[in-house]
Copies of this chain bind each other. A is one copy, B any other.
Amino acid sequence: MSIMEADLHTLKINDPFLGKYQQLVRDVVIPYQWDALNDRVTEAEPSHAITNFRIAAGLEKGEFYGMVFQDSDVAKWLEAVAWSLCQKPDAELEKTADEVIELVAAAQCEDGYLNTYFTVKAPEARWTNLAECHELYCAGHMIEAGVAYFQGTGKRRLLEVVCKLADHIDTVFGPGVNQLHGYPGHPEIELALMRLYDVTQKPRYLALVKYFIEERGAQPHFYDIEYEKRGKTSHWNTYGPAWMVKDKAYSQAHQPLAEQQTAIGHAVRFVYLMAGMAHLARLSHDEGKRQDCLRLWNNMAQRQLYITGGIGSQSSGEAFSSDYDLPNDTVYAESCASIGLMMFARRMLEMEADSQYADVMERALYNTVLGGMALDGKHFFYVNPLEVHPKTLSFNHIYDHVKPVRQRWFGCACCPPNIARVLTSLGHYIYTVREDALFINLYVGNDVAIPVGDRKLQLRISGNYPWHEQVKIDITSPVPVTHTLALRLPDWCANPEIALNGEVITGEVTRGYLYLTRRWQEGDAITLTLPMPVRRLYGNPQVRQQAGKVALQRGPLVYCLEEADNGANLHNLSLPEESTFRVFEGKGIFAHKMLIQAEGIGCHTTDSDALWQYDRSPVQRQPQTLTFIPWFSWANRGEGEMRIWVDEA
């Protein structure tokens, strides 16, 4: 089954909600990040990323500064620019990006090697520390940028640079006696090489991904071999010497993937790896790898996923925990992990036309990914808790990773540019463009033209998702096209209604998609009504952090209580089982957003100073109206308590 990636030039997002986010990325995030990469944002931690490239290129004297993966910020910025240029040409921005690309090219070594940390700081140490040093990770991001820039602008300069880089890597790694039998400590290059393969069709890239994935976890272990070889030096010391080498599950390298049963270790590494693996499994028709993907997806989605689309239950190792361990306040749920989850879900969708993957993708997008960025586009969350009690954060060190409000930039700045690139490339997630059907996964408003044979199926999605129930799909093809449209029926919607040209229809529904095959012509209109009553969510009985609690969701949006609306001590509020909900449009920062109110139970508390009381609770229940806001928009009004899971009275 051949699958095409939607061409973002012929896919224009005009969604009243996410369109604004794309505009924010264009107008604020990309310029702001450009300033940050050039150390012109005084209140943020220094980046030095561009300077590193200048030094590597011999254009400037100086020392490398930053994380060992600092290069990837430049790559992600370039990728975001590439996708942004598809949406809206911008000659000046493109010129800046072209200059950056020249700089990157100038920093590339003769043999194709490209990494400013090692080129500037330790050229002799190239490829000696795969477990810890992110060389292949940075390469992966640059490859993604090269592919994106080619797709976005048609310019081959960066694509050539990254092909040279990938070719070099392909000579260094492999089964040959003079090759390294290694693979990245931080997966990323797998998914990137698959994209490069899509664009170039060079089999060596696909073969290299296959090598990296199949070698992973083999014994004797590559991490140990290289560790001995380099004299047992270690780059990271966070949890003791060489912990990243020793804790092989941290990077999903403790055993071969075919033997792994659970989502484990660093959450971003896991989803990046799986995205590449699912892409490979599909293109190489590898049933074993397909089963590995399904098994590991299922463990993650059925036992380790938050309702916010967050993954990674713990700060230590930014990692998964164990089945059903989903703490709300000490959770990590890195923004990047949910972005990676969208990538993994997208690849699963391309492998299997099953809406469960789109459901998770949508959940991650509309909750954690959007929530990762402030409404001003200048502040970001790295960690996305489901419950925050700000007064405690600076005292109890189990919360050291949690910030009560979004920050401007980070020393380890992986999340902000990642949010930028995923929001600018949203079009790739909206559709799965298959030969046999056009799958509509997300109801983001857009105009698109999809090649079907030698014709084009053109359509427009409109509405005001995820706020309003009506989604309209207008066929705008000037020439009729026979094709199948597969519309995702979201898991959160109990009674979707579909009308074609005004008449309610029932079609074939398979694995969450409604299939409509027809000779589509201009004027055809599908109206999808997705009733959005407020729905109560209840946790799996195994999840102790949700026992006795309820969460609210409307459409794909998870809601929360904030102190700004409901006062402090949110833990004393509860929502009776029988309460009804009022949905209304908010004001100020909540304009065009739907809020929820419900009659809940608050409390009078006695003024007793005692830590406990016998026989009778000091909490006297009384009615209190509870106001819930969409969780992604929390912490836009300063510091305060927040919680998603509320006691059900």
A547's closest neighbor in chain B, by CB?
B571
* Neighbouring B residues of A536 by C-beta, 8 Å: 614-616
Which A380-421 residues sit within 8 Å CB-CB of chain B? 389, 391-392, 395-398, 400
Residues of chain B within 8 A of A569, CB atoms compared: 541-542, 544
**Cα distance A540–B572 when bound, in Å?**
10
Residue of B whose beta carbon sits closest to that of A545: B571
**Are A614 and B302 neighbours in the complex by a CB distance under 8 Å?**
no
Interface assignment of A103: CB less than 8 Å from any CB of chain B:
no
Given contacts A547-B572, A548-B574, A548-B647, contact A611 B539 (CB under 8 A): yes
**In chain A, residues 325-364, which have Cβ atoms closer than 8 Å to a Cβ of chain B?**
325-327, 330
The answer on a CB contact under 8 Å between A302 and B538 is no
Contacting chain B: which of A177-185, A315-323, A516-524? Answer: A315-323
A619 in contact with B321 (CB, 8 Å): no
How close is A568's CB to chain B, nearest CB, in angstroms?
9
Q: Is A535 an interface residue (CB 8 A)?
A: yes
- CB-CB under 8 A from A42, the residues of chain B are none
- Please give the distance in Å from A496's CB to the nearest CB on chain B: 14
A112 within 8 A of B: no
CB of A4 closer than 8 Å to a CB of B: no
* Residue from B322, B551, B608 in contact with A392 in the complex, judged by beta carbons closer than 8 Å: B322
Report the minimal beta-carbon distance from A544 to chain B, rounded to whole angstroms: 4
Interface size of A by Cβ–Cβ distance < 8 Å?
Answer: 63
For residue A313, which residues in chain B have a CB less than 8 angstroms away from its CB?
A: 396
Q: Chain B residues near A305 (CB, 8 Å)? A: 611
* A316 and B397 alpha carbons, distance in the complex (Å): 6
Binary flags per residue of A583-614, CB closer than 8 Å to B gives 1, else 0:
00000000000000000000101001111111
Is A537 in the interface zone, CB < 8 Å from B? yes
Contacts from A to B (Cβ < 8 Å):
301-303, 305, 307, 313-317, 321-322, 324-327, 330, 389, 391-392, 395-398, 400, 492, 494, 535-544, 546-548, 550-551, 553, 569, 571-572, 574, 603, 605, 608-619, 647-648
By a CB distance below 8 angstroms, the chain B residues around A550 are 617
Contact partner, A321, options B396, B541, B547, B548, Cβ 8 Å = B396
10 closest residue pairs by CB, A with B:
A316-B397, A322-B395, A544-B571, A541-B605, A547-B571, A538-B617, A321-B396, A321-B395, A325-B392, A537-B612
* Contact A395–B539 (Cβ < 8 Å): no
A301 and B611 in contact, given A325-B392, A397-B316 (Cβ under 8 angstroms): yes
* Cβ-neighbour of A540 out of B543, B574, B611 (below 8 A): B611
Give the residue name and chain of the B residue nearest to A239 (CB): B397
* Pairwise interchain contact A541-B603, C-beta atoms closer than 8 A: yes
- Please state if A398 and B611 are interface contacts (CB–CB under 8 Å): no
Interface centre among A571, A608, A609 (most CB of B within 10 A): A571
**Closest B residue by C-beta to A551:** B612
Q: Judge whether A322 and B396 touch: CB under 8 Å.
A: yes
CB distance from A96 to the nearest CB of B (A): 40
| A617 nearest in chain B by CB position | B538
Closest CB in chain B relative to A314 CB, distance in Å: 5
Chain B proximity of A177: nearest CB distance (Å): 40
Shortest C-beta distance, A55 to chain B (Å), equals: 29
Please determine whether B395 and A613 come into contact, CB atoms closer than 8 angstroms.
Answer: no
